[in-house]
């Protein structure tokens, strides 16, 4: 019959699904529930290939689960607050809200054009008051429970844009937009007590066996539990009125390798000494110019300032160590002070070489190594302790325990645990975010906005003409009366980090009443998300914050779920070749054809295959491709070839191949219309293997393997002679491809005269007996006498053989309807019926 008309089919079935509400999830369904979620997009303006790949994967799983009899929740929404909207406001003079909502409208229609099985009735955008107002209510619940607090803390301050920058926004010590040297400033900020949950967040990782190992490891490292020791150093001379300070170490075993002590630039000792030391003031100022990001501090050149003071070694009163202020010591980790052992710590070694300080080995992997000096690399491996008095000969672990025991006994130190994880600073001095629902009153302090006054709505009349936070300079918005005493007070003008918005949207998808954040029973009927799919760039922050927020809600009795996502999958990126013109400028794929720059006829150089990005101009916009090849071909491309966790290279020839395959599928489903007769056991087996195999592949998110099996089955059907088996296989194929190429499948389903939608059809059953390859001959005896033989699949289970024997015509005749007394089955060989 005619060629598959994708434009017509796409539009038609998308309209039918929408009109029938096919993918609306029913809270009150009696079916088992399944929650499939992809990370919701930021409304940047257009859907890109990465979105298409991500959402296609989730879609196949969601559609498959529906066919398997689940009530599936597969929602979509918008992570709609954040900086780009404010940048657009500054550059293009549009209101962030207008810009965001226009982008959402454009992207929504692009998503609909790909035919995703989404429940659009649950769509939400975090920038709308009906969402962020409920978030404010939750924030106040956490505040009441003591899980929110305010404190002074160091931030990256961009003096030109007059704003706080996230660590990621500081590049080489400069603001990413202004290029100004970033300063470290102290500001009062709001924090969420994620550290209260550090142990539990770490423990919970053990239960997440359907998460990628690497993501669990990244979270574990981020939480960073270290066992160690805290001890006191006595100063030889006072710094201000300080005569001793504590250090934290994870390597008390290396105490005899100590070479110097160091404190952070913000440490009270450094501050006290700087009062009358201009050179130290300069050094501290220089330290503050490096951002607060750990990676940056790690790679920066190690620098120090010799204070001239010294400290006493705790194990030897005659041993003095010089005290430095050092740029690699952080104030907010441990105690902000260290003892340094250059032989066994690379940072300390770099520092010691620079300032010509002693390097003494105290751990040796082999006895011979004991006297080998350390060169340019610190030794951080295991071994035995050397050059260390009473510790000599002990292993590293034994020595740690021995030093801690001695310190505790003598009273100068104790064993402790420290965490790398910091409390979550959620204050942003920005307009386009959730207003923090707090009012500052001189008399009453920080007062929560009464819940009946929520949402605290963002004012519309704001200007972005000058840098800084428009909420802060708004004429009226921030001036309110104190809810507690009624006196004039000031509204909090910080807004929440957008990661807060994405920490609970998945619960709001499950239940979104207008008068509360979610209905507990309904939310719990869907939660946790069974399969979450998204980019590995969210392996730490988003996933950790969401795990924390869910636990916090659990602790205050709002929901009885701790882990929000039981299954996690991180997909690979979509890549493309890069091109340059002879002058070395990047060219976009549209500007190049057959290796030539279309406009000039000059040769283009083909560069590496890289992640699609604007900077390299190798971005291919999915929208026109969907128009040209149809949604199904694009979806098929996203699932074919590469394993989903790996990168996928977009190519023109690839999408053309997919388009041809979609058309081939269409022609094959033609064969399903025939009324041919006769069995084709070989094809039957291939079909049933495909049914079972594709199901298993989809459940394991092995989409490329499922695609390969569909190719095989398609080939087999094409090659087979007409038969009843062939007709059945072609009919089943329609259902097998329905999750991947749903428009084609609906069209074929309708053409076959099936009722209803293939989206609502059941996944085909497979006969386990047909999964087994070889056939064997089975002797069937009645009372010990051979009466018949059967051909059965090798390894067929006993009950199958028994059933086959009893169903045999000859045997049925002999038994004359009487039930056998006993049936003995010897697998692969014989069935003996005792009548
Ligand atoms: C002495 C020592 C000897 C150390 C040695 C390491 C190796 P982790 O394991 O990542 O938790 N440290 C402690 N507080 C610090 C701070 N505020 N800023 C920078 N560094 C700090 O790191 C703990 C180790 O990092 C501690 O153990 C301390 O150096 C350093 F052979 O103490 B160690
Ligand atoms: Zn008050």
Inter-residue contact 284 to 274 (CB < 8 Å): yes
- Tallying the residues shown for the chain, one arrives at 835
For range 286-300, the mean pLDDT:
71
Measured in Å, residue 264 CA sits from the centre of ligand 1 at 12
Pocket-testing residue among 248, 267, 298, 349, ligand 1, by greatest number of atoms within 8 A of Cβ? 248
Residue with the nearest Cα to atom 25 of ligand 1? 249
Residue from 204, 227, 226, 225 nearest 216 by CA: 204
Q: Which residues pair with 312 in a beta bridge?
A: 320
614 is in an annotated binding site: yes
Question: Does 221 score more than 90 pLDDT?
Answer: yes
Measured in Å, residue 144 CA sits from the centre of ligand 2 at 17
Pocket-testing residue among 333, 337, 348, 382, ligand 1, by greatest number of atoms within 8 A of Cβ? 333
Measured in Å, residue 250 CA sits from the centre of ligand 1 at 6
Give all strands (DSSP E) within 399-551, no chain letters.
413-419, 424-425, 427-428, 438-441, 445-448, 479-481, 488-491, 495-496, 531-535
In angstroms, the CA 704 to CA 410 distance is 64
In angstroms, the CA 630 to CA 311 distance is 74
- Per residue in 77-90, pLDDT tens? 999 999 899 989 98
Inter-residue contact 649 to 578 (CB < 8 Å): no
Question: For ligand 1, what atom is nearest to the CA of residue 224?
Answer: 11
Residue from 435, 502, 468, 478 nearest 39 by CA: 502
Classify each residue of 723-762 as buried b or exposed e, where b means 16 or more C-beta atoms within 10 Å of its C-beta. bebbbbbbbbbbbbbbbbbbbbbbbbbbebebeebbbebe
Give all strands (DSSP E) within 113-178, no chain letters.
124-125, 148-158, 163-165, 170-171, 174-175
CA dist list (Å): 462 to 60, 89, 164, 194, 439: 44, 10, 19, 33, 20
What backbone torsions phi and psi does residue 480 show, to the nearest 5 degrees? -140, 170
Ligand nearest to the backbone CA of 334: 1
Identify the H or E element spanning 543. helix 541-555
- Per residue in 234-280, pLDDT tens? 999 999 999 999 999 999 999 999 999 999 999 999 999 999 999 99
Residue with the nearest Cα to atom 33 of ligand 1? 249
Ligand nearest to the backbone CA of 447: 2
CA dist list (Å): 779 to 769, 812, 815, 820, 831: 18, 15, 17, 17, 6
In angstroms, the CA 733 to CA 766 distance is 13
Residue from 214, 220, 217, 221 nearest 570 by CA: 214
Ligand nearest to the backbone CA of 443: 2
Question: For ligand 1, what atom is nearest to the CA of residue 252?
Answer: 1
DSSP 435: B
Residue with the nearest Cα to atom 21 of ligand 1? 329
Count other C-beta atoms under 10 Å from residue 441's C-beta.
19
pLDDT of residue 379: 96
The answer, yes or no, to whether any atom of ligand 1 lies below 6 A from the CB of 396, is no
Handedness of CA 609, 613, 618, 621 (dihedral sign): positive
pLDDT of residue 508: 98
Measured in Å, residue 261 CA sits from the centre of ligand 1 at 11
Ligand nearest to the backbone CA of 379: 1
The answer, yes or no, to whether any atom of ligand 1 lies below 6 A from the CB of 330, is yes
Handedness of CA 640, 642, 646, 647 (dihedral sign): negative
Measured in Å, residue 507 CA sits from the centre of ligand 2 at 35
At 818, is the pLDDT very low, low, confident or very high (cuts 50, 70, 90)?
Answer: confident
- Per residue in 703-733, pLDDT tens? 999 999 999 999 999 999 999 999 999 999 9
Residues near ligand 2 ion, CB 5 Å cutoff? 441, 443-444, 482, 484-485
Pocket-testing residue among 334, 386, 391, 416, ligand 1, by greatest number of atoms within 8 A of Cβ? 334
Evaluate the omega torsion of the peptide bond into residue 528 and state whether it is cis, within 30 degrees of 0: yes
Inter-residue contact 327 to 297 (CB < 8 Å): yes
Ligand nearest to the backbone CA of 484: 2
Pocket-testing residue among 222, 226, 251, 363, ligand 1, by greatest number of atoms within 8 A of Cβ? 251
Measured in Å, residue 481 CA sits from the centre of ligand 2 at 8
In angstroms, the CA 170 to CA 177 distance is 9
- Per residue in 735-752, pLDDT tens? 999 999 999 999 999 999
Measured in Å, residue 150 CA sits from the centre of ligand 2 at 18
Measured in Å, residue 438 CA sits from the centre of ligand 2 at 12
CA dist list (Å): 644 to 12, 58, 210: 30, 11, 16
The answer, yes or no, to whether any atom of ligand 1 lies below 6 A from the CB of 245, is no
- Could you tell me which residues come within 8 angstroms of residue 700 by beta carbon, excluding any fewer than 6 positions away? none
Identify the H or E element spanning 198. helix 198-205
Residue with the nearest Cα to atom 9 of ligand 1? 250
The answer, yes or no, to whether any atom of ligand 1 lies below 6 A from the CB of 101, is no
Question: For ligand 1, what atom is nearest to the CA of residue 418?
Answer: 11
Residue with the nearest Cα to atom 31 of ligand 1? 344
Ligand nearest to the backbone CA of 482: 2
Longest Cα–Cα distance in the chain: 113
The answer, yes or no, to whether any atom of ligand 1 lies below 6 A from the CB of 254, is yes
Question: For ligand 1, what atom is nearest to the CA of residue 335?
Answer: 17
Kindly state the percentage of the chain with pLDDT values over 70. Answer: 99
The answer, yes or no, to whether any atom of ligand 1 lies below 6 A from the CB of 547, is no
The answer, yes or no, to whether any atom of ligand 1 lies below 6 A from the CB of 339, is yes
Question: Does 633 score more than 90 pLDDT?
Answer: yes
- Per residue in 577-593, pLDDT tens? 899 988 888 988 888 88
pLDDT of residue 294: 59
User: Which of 415-429, 552-566, 641-655 is modeled with the greatest confidence?
Assistant: 552-566
The answer, yes or no, to whether any atom of ligand 1 lies below 6 A from the CB of 334, is yes
DSSP 490: E
Structure tokens at 380: 């951080």
Question: Does 2 score more than 80 pLDDT?
Answer: no
The answer, yes or no, to whether any atom of ligand 1 lies below 6 A from the CB of 338, is yes
In angstroms, the CA 572 to CA 535 distance is 7
Count other C-beta atoms under 10 Å from residue 463's C-beta.
12
Residue with the nearest Cα to atom 23 of ligand 1? 250
Q: Point out the least confidently predicted range of 65-69, 362-366, 765-769.
A: 765-769
Measured in Å, residue 492 CA sits from the centre of ligand 2 at 14
- Per residue in 338-363, pLDDT tens? 999 999 999 999 999 999 999 999 99
Measured in Å, residue 479 CA sits from the centre of ligand 2 at 13
The answer, yes or no, to whether any atom of ligand 1 lies below 6 A from the CB of 527, is no
Residue from 685, 684, 709 nearest 695 by CA: 709
In angstroms, the CA 554 to CA 551 distance is 5
Measured in Å, residue 447 CA sits from the centre of ligand 2 at 8
- Per residue in 755-776, pLDDT tens? 999 999 999 999 888 887 777 8
In angstroms, the CA 586 to CA 607 distance is 10
For range 666-694, the mean pLDDT:
89
Residue from 713, 656, 538, 704 nearest 60 by CA: 704
Ligand nearest to the backbone CA of 255: 1
Residue with the nearest Cα to atom 14 of ligand 1? 334
In angstroms, the CA 321 to CA 288 distance is 26
- Could you tell me which residues come within 8 angstroms of residue 755 by beta carbon, excluding any fewer than 6 positions away? none
Inter-residue contact 62 to 72 (CB < 8 Å): yes
Question: Does 1 score more than 60 pLDDT?
Answer: no
The answer, yes or no, to whether any atom of ligand 1 lies below 6 A from the CB of 222, is no
Question: For ligand 1, what atom is nearest to the CA of residue 332?
Answer: 17
- Per residue in 127-185, pLDDT tens? 999 999 999 999 999 999 999 999 998 888 888 888 888 776 788 888 877 899 988 88
The answer, yes or no, to whether any atom of ligand 1 lies below 6 A from the CB of 248, is yes
Measured in Å, residue 481 CA sits from the centre of ligand 1 at 49
Residue from 650, 645, 421 nearest 536 by CA: 645
ipTM value, please give it: 0.93
Evaluate the omega torsion of the peptide bond into residue 455 and state whether it is cis, within 30 degrees of 0: yes
Measured in Å, residue 806 CA sits from the centre of ligand 1 at 76
Handedness of CA 250, 252, 257, 262 (dihedral sign): positive
The answer, yes or no, to whether any atom of ligand 1 lies below 6 A from the CB of 421, is no
Residue with the nearest Cα to atom 22 of ligand 1? 250
Handedness of CA 649, 652, 654, 655 (dihedral sign): positive
pLDDT of residue 170: 80
The answer, yes or no, to whether any atom of ligand 1 lies below 6 A from the CB of 251, is yes
Residue from 18, 47, 40 nearest 107 by CA: 47
Q: Point out the least confidently predicted range of 399-413, 553-567, 763-777.
A: 763-777
Measured in Å, residue 829 CA sits from the centre of ligand 2 at 90
pLDDT of residue 178: 86
Inter-residue contact 603 to 597 (CB < 8 Å): yes
Measured in Å, residue 247 CA sits from the centre of ligand 1 at 9
The answer, yes or no, to whether any atom of ligand 1 lies below 6 A from the CB of 333, is yes
Question: For ligand 1, what atom is nearest to the CA of residue 328?
Answer: 19
């Amino acid at each position: 019959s005619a060629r598959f008309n994708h434009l017509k089919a796409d539009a038609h079935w998308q309209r039918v699904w929408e009109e029938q509400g096919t993918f609306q999830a029913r809270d009150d369904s009696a079916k088992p529930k399944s929650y499939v979620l992809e990370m919701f997009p930021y409304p940047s303006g257009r859907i890109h290939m990465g979105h298409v790949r991500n959402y296609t994967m989730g879609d196949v799983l969601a559609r498959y689960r529906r066919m398997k009899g689940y009530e599936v929740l597969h929602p979509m929404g918008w992570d709609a607050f954040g900086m780009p909207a404010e940048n657009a406001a500054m550059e293009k003079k549009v209101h962030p809200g207008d810009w965001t909502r226009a982008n959402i409208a454009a992207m929504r229609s692009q998503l609909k054009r790909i035919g995703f099985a989404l429940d659009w009735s649950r769509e939400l955008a975090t920038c709308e008051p009906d969402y962020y107002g409920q978030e404010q209510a939750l924030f106040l619940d956490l505040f009441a429970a003591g899980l929110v607090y305010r404190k002074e803390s160091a931030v990256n301050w961009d003096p030109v844009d007059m704003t706080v920058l996230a660590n990621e926004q500081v590049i080489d010590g400069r603001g990413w937009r202004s290029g100004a040297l970033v300063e470290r400033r102290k500001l009062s900020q709001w924090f969420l007590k994620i550290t209260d949950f550090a142990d539990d967040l770490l423990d919970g990782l053990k239960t997440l066996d359907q998460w990628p190992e690497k993501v669990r490891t990244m979270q574990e490292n981020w939480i960073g539990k270290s066992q160690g020791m805290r001890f006191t150093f006595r100063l030889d001379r006072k710094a201000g009125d300080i005569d001793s300070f504590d250090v934290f170490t994870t390597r008390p075993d290396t105490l005899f390798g100590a070479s110097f002590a160091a404190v952070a630039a913000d440490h009270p000792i450094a501050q006290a000494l700087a009062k009358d030391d201009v050179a130290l003031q300069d050094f501290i100022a220089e330290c503050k110019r490096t951002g607060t990001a750990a990676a940056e501090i790690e790679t920066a050149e190690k620098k120090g300032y010799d204070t001239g003071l010294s400290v006493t070694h705790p194990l030897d009163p005659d041993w003095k160590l010089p005290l430095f202020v050092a740029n690699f010591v952080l104030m907010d980790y441990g105690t902000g002070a260290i003892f340094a052992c250059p032989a066994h710590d690379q940072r300390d070694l770099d520092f010691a070489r620079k300032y010509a300080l002693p390097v003494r080995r105290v751990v040796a992997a082999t006895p011979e190594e004991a006297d080998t000096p350390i060169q340019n690399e610190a030794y951080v491996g295991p071994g035995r302790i050397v050059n260390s008095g009473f510790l000599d000969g002990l292993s590293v672990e034994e020595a740690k325990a021995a030093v801690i025991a001695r310190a505790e006994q003598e009273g100068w130190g104790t064993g402790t645990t420290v965490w790398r994880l910091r409390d979550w600073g959620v204050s942003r001095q920005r307009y386009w975010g959730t207003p923090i629902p707090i009012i500052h009153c001189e008399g009453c302090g920080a007062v929560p906005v009464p819940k009946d006054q929520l949402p605290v709505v963002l004012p519309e009349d704001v200007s972005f003409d000058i840098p800084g936070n428009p909420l802060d300079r708004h004429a009226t918005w921030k001036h309110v009366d104190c809810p507690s005493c009624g006196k004039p007070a000031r509204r909090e003008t910080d807004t929440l980090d957008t990661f807060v918005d994405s920490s609970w949207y998945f619960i709001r998808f499950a239940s979104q009443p207008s008068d509360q954040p979610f209905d507990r029973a309904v939310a719990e009927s869907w939660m946790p998300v069974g399969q979450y799919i998204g980019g590995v760039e969210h392996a730490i922050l988003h996933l950790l914050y969401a795990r924390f927020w869910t636990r916090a809600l659990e602790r205050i009795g709002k929901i009885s779920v701790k882990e929000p996502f039981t299954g996690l999958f991180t997909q690979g990126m979509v890549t493309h070749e890069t091109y340059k013109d002879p002058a070395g400028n990047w060219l976009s794929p549209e500007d190049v054809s057959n290796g030539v720059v279309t406009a000039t006829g000059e040769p283009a150089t083909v560069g590496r295959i890289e992640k699609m990005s604007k900077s390299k101009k190798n971005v291919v916009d999915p929208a026109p491709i969907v128009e040209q090849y149809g949604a199904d071909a694009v979806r098929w491309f996203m699932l074919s070839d590469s394993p989903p966790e790996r990168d996928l290279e977009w190519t023109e020839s690839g999408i053309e191949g997919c388009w041809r395959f979609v058309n081939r599928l269409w022609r094959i489903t033609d064969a399903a219309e025939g009324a041919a007769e006769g069995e084709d056991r070989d094809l039957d087996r291939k079909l049933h293997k495909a049914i079972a195999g594709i199901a298993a592949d989809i459940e394991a998110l092995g989409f490329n393997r499922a695609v390969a099996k569909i190719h095989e089955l398609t080939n087999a059907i094409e090659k087979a002679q007409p038969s009843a088996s062939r007709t059945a296989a072609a009919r089943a194929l329609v259902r097998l491809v329905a999750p991947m190429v749903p428009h084609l499948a609906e069209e074929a389903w309708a053409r076959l005269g099936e009722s209803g939608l293939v989206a609502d059809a059941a996944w085909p059953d497979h006969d386990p007996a047909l999964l087994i390859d070889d056939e064997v001959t089975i002797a069937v005896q009645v009372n010990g006498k051979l009466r018949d033989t059967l051909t059965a699949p090798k390894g067929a289970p006993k009950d199958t053989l028994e059933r086959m024997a009893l169903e045999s015509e000859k045997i049925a005749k002999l038994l004359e309807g009487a039930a056998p007394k006993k049936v003995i089955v010897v697998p692969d060989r014989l069935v003996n019926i005792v009548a």
